[in-house]
A and B are shown apart, each in its own frame.
Chain A
Amino acid sequence: MPNIGSYEEQLKSFNWSLAEKELEYCKEDLINIGWYSSDRICLKGNGSKIALYYEDFAGIEKRFTFNEIRLASNTIGTYLSNLGLKNKDRICLFMDRIPELYFSFLGILKIGAIVQPLFSAFGDESLYVRLEDAQTRAIITQRKQLPNIRKIRDRLPNLEYIIIVDHCLTKELEYKEFAFSFEETPSVEEMVIFPTRAESPSVLHYTSGTTGQPKGVQHVHYSLISQYLTSKWALDLRDDDVYWCTADPGWVTGISYGIIGPWSMGVSICVLNAGFSAQSWYKFIEKYKVTMWYSSPTAIRSLMKTSDHLVKSFNLTSLRHLASVGEPLNPEAVIWSEKIFGIPFHDTFWQTETGSIMITNFRGMKIKPGSMGKPFPGIIGIILDENTFEPVKTSGMIGLIAFKPGWPSMMRAYWNNEEKYREKFVNGWYISGDKAYTDNEGYFWFVGRDDDVINTGGHLISPFEVESALLEHQAVGESAVVAKPDEINMEVVKAFITLKPGYTPGSDLELEIMNFIRKRLSSFAMPQEIEYMDKLPKTRSGKIMRRFLHAKEWGEEIGDISTLENE
């Protein structure tokens, strides 16, 4: 029987207080995600239960109980406090998915500071922009990241502490650098948790938009209420599950459902710190007897490309529920997973800004392959007319996906950007930026983005950010970046560029520019293809017509070209 029971019955009388009651939280009480995810689980008698099964590509295996993560988070939290870090300071986590990241996440929250998780593959410029915007005071990282951090530290006057968790004793520490070792620091048994409340800031995620720099999405400790209950009802997590969320903790999924959701329920998680390979993934599931698997459509499509014979060579019978996140899940993937694993992947829809799952396919509910599912109880989801921002009158009409504000994990701000935050709310609705329609049974069907943001393998990329970085290359005159369709990643970044005088197009220059972007921004922002043009299509007023290039890539009608500059 699914945890949610009957979806229709839950809709009738739903109230978020149900989750509050299960967590034994009352309004006005103190609430701290770090405490709920470790100390409380121990107080409930599960201190010796495994919280984290960890393995890396070299085969190193580690296990940590809830009591061990409680102690480790106390230890790093105390260390950070002793350094002088405090309530509301922004502390960045910039590491691979190693155990130290998970301990530090909880430890930062326990001192009331704000965690700023950043994807460990970010280049120096991507890192700089986000640390500068948040005025980050400390960064917890690995030694391999030091070259990038050292390049930018002098431009970050607020950055006082660069804390290295795997410092090599034969190397010198430079200024602002501190070495911290969990193994060598005495455990802190008791720690005074900072008295955070519902609206106390907790996590600051960065997300990209079409224009401007990435935005800091501010969440609060009360988000736990949504993350806990959606883990229970949408992901159907149970006490005895062994849960694998493949998302990196640099992204909201890896935090909301990689740490907070499962650990607040006292569920064991497993983490594979390695690249993708179908063989190693199936081996991991078999070895740890993973029961619930939350992954991305890009990964699923990559798995689909391997032979069925490979899957059959592993015992994956432990799997009892599968869900996906990050991009729309194509129907073929749903059908394939049901055939191969005996259970379908359940698509879930939500955003960095929403903090938790908003529309989903529930276990036990009929799945329509390709559909996003239905709104989570307590979430009022609707389709708005793009022009009037009023609810559309009938099913089948395409419009903007919108939600009634006020769910527990709704973002509370864009960091230092009140104007952009207010733009997200129109006519009393939160505007997601995605488009869909509903059918006559209330299922939502994704149509596309309402803006130019590129979604590549679940990563949102701002064309503006990539275009700006391209212009920093000495050879590039002008640039335009659009999404190009891709069988595995759904979309990839494609750049159109003109060259400055003295430079000639060629594959060596293409490689040089690709690597330039990969190191400045990230590998997923790197154009997978660069096309040279004599000139970019522009309007008569000089604005680059990205949609013209986009339409060509997608084989779509180009539309109105009356404003296109004449040849």
Chain B
Amino acid sequence: MEKMNRQEKKDLVLNYVIKEYIEDEDQEITYDTPLISSGFVDSFSMISLLVFIENKFKIKIPPNEATSDAFDSVNKIIDLVNQFTK
């Protein structure tokens, strides 16, 4: 996979979240919209988002780092991804 810049990563994740988890097509989701604490992505669904992130960016996120807080927005997710990307 070609090296992506931060904006490309954010767009990739945002589009995935909207496609997979947002039922209301009128609901606006931004890079900072709370995802978990809002209930858009519940705690059970979070594991599927984690698997997507790990697969897409070819990284492994330790369980103690994959917290609901770390996944609570697209921006936070990308911060986490960058922590584990070589």
Residues of A whose CB lies within 8 Å of any CB of B are 57-58, 96, 121, 142-145, 147-148, 168, 273-277, 279-280, 302, 456-457, 488-489, 492, 507-508, 510-511, 514-515, 518, 523-524, 526, 528
Write the nearest CB–CB distance from A522 to chain B, whole angstroms: 8
**Within the complex, which residue of A96, A277, A489, A524 is in contact with B68, where a contact is CB–CB below 8 Å?**
A277
Write the nearest CB–CB distance from B35 to chain A, whole angstroms: 8
18 contacts between A and B (CB under 8 A): A57-B38, A57-B39, A58-B38, A96-B39, A142-B24, A144-B25, A147-B23, A148-B23, A275-B37, A275-B42, A276-B36, A276-B37, A276-B43, A277-B72, A456-B44, A492-B44, A526-B45, A528-B44
Q: Cβ of B42: which chain A residues have Cβ within 8 Å of it?
A: 121, 275-276, 523
* Contact A275 to B39, CB < 8 A, known contacts A143-B24, A511-B52: yes
Which of A145, A274, A456, A489 neighbours the largest number of chain B CB atoms within 10 Å of its CB?
A274
Q: Cβ of A148: which chain B residues have Cβ within 8 Å of it?
A: 23
The B interface is mostly helix, strand or loop, or mixed, namely loop
* Contact A514 to B39, CB < 8 A, known contacts A57-B34, A168-B26: no
A275:B48 contact, CB within 8 angstroms: no
Closest to B36 in A: A275
**Within the complex, which residue of B23, B44, B52 is in contact with A144, where a contact is CB–CB below 8 Å?**
B23
A507:B45 contact, CB within 8 angstroms: no
Write the nearest CB–CB distance from A390 to chain B, whole angstroms: 40
B83 at the interface (CB under 8 A from A): no
Bound form: Cα–Cα A508–B68 in Å: 22
B27 at the interface (CB under 8 A from A): yes
A277:B37 contact, CB within 8 angstroms: yes
Bound form: Cα–Cα A279–B43 in Å: 15
Closest to B43 in A: A276
* Contact A280 to B37, CB < 8 A, known contacts A121-B42, A511-B52: yes
Q: Cβ of A510: which chain B residues have Cβ within 8 Å of it?
A: 51
B34:A511 contact, CB within 8 angstroms: no
B37:A511 contact, CB within 8 angstroms: no
Q: Cβ of A511: which chain B residues have Cβ within 8 Å of it?
A: 48, 51-52, 55
Within 8 A of A (CB), among B28-57: 34, 36-45, 47-48, 51-52, 54-55
B20 at the interface (CB under 8 A from A): yes
Bound form: Cα–Cα A523–B41 in Å: 9
A515:B23 contact, CB within 8 angstroms: no
Write the nearest CB–CB distance from B77 to chain A, whole angstroms: 15
Bound form: Cα–Cα A64–B34 in Å: 27
B47:A277 contact, CB within 8 angstroms: no
Write the nearest CB–CB distance from A284 to chain B, whole angstroms: 12
Closest to B47 in A: A528
